[in-house]
Amino acid sequence: MVSSEDVKNLTVTEGGSITLPDPVVGLGFLLYEGSIVAMVTDKKIQIYREIYKDKLLWNNSTGLFTITRLQRNDSGIYSIDSQTGKEFVTSYKITVYGESHFLCQLFDHCIGANSILHIWGLSSSYVTSSFV
């Protein structure tokens, strides 16, 4: 079990990719919620969970994992467990947000659940309006 102080928060928009910043250069593992997703050994990756077969990449030069085509149900605690070289375990809370959250961040506010947000692109500026 990982304490909340040890977890680094990462966020990404649905459909995006995220690269975990800690490398596995020899023997190591990527875990999701405590279950092994992939193992790296002898400069090769073996992916154990079927849902990651087409969306998990490991760069054998940098040792970094990248998860692509993220969906909201991919949110959770991911851990990197490096067993060689600099041995460590680092955990990340990845939160995958939908596009509406991205728009809230972009415009620094959100509109209530009963409102509709209309965005018109006008050159390089945007006009927003909401209707109840």
Q: Tell me what pLDDT residue 115 has.
A: 39
**CB contact at 8 A, 16 and 71:** no
From 3.40.50.450, 2.60.40.10, 3.30.450.20, 1.10.1740.10, which CATH number describes the 4-97 domain?
2.60.40.10
Q: Check whether 107 has a pLDDT greater than 80.
A: no
Average pLDDT of the chain?
Answer: 80
Of 1-5, 102-106, 122-126, the least confident: 122-126
| Section 89-112 average pLDDT | 71
Strands 28-32 and 76-82: antiparallel
In this structure, what are the phi and psi dihedrals at residue 70, rounded to the nearest 5 degrees? Answer: -70, 140
Residue with the bigger pLDDT between 50 and 107: it is 50
Q: Where are the domains of the chain?
A: 4-97, 99-131
Nearest to 84 by CA among 45, 47, 40: 40
Whole-number Å distance between alpha carbons of 14 and 98: 5
Three-state helix/strand/coil letters over 9-64: EEEEECCCCEECCCCCCCCEEEEECCEEEEEEECCEEEECCHHHCCCEEECCCCCC
The pLDDT tens digits for 59-93 are 999 999 999 999 999 999 999 999 987 789 999 99
User: Torsion-angle region of residue 34: left (phi > 0), alpha (psi -120 to 50) or beta?
Assistant: left
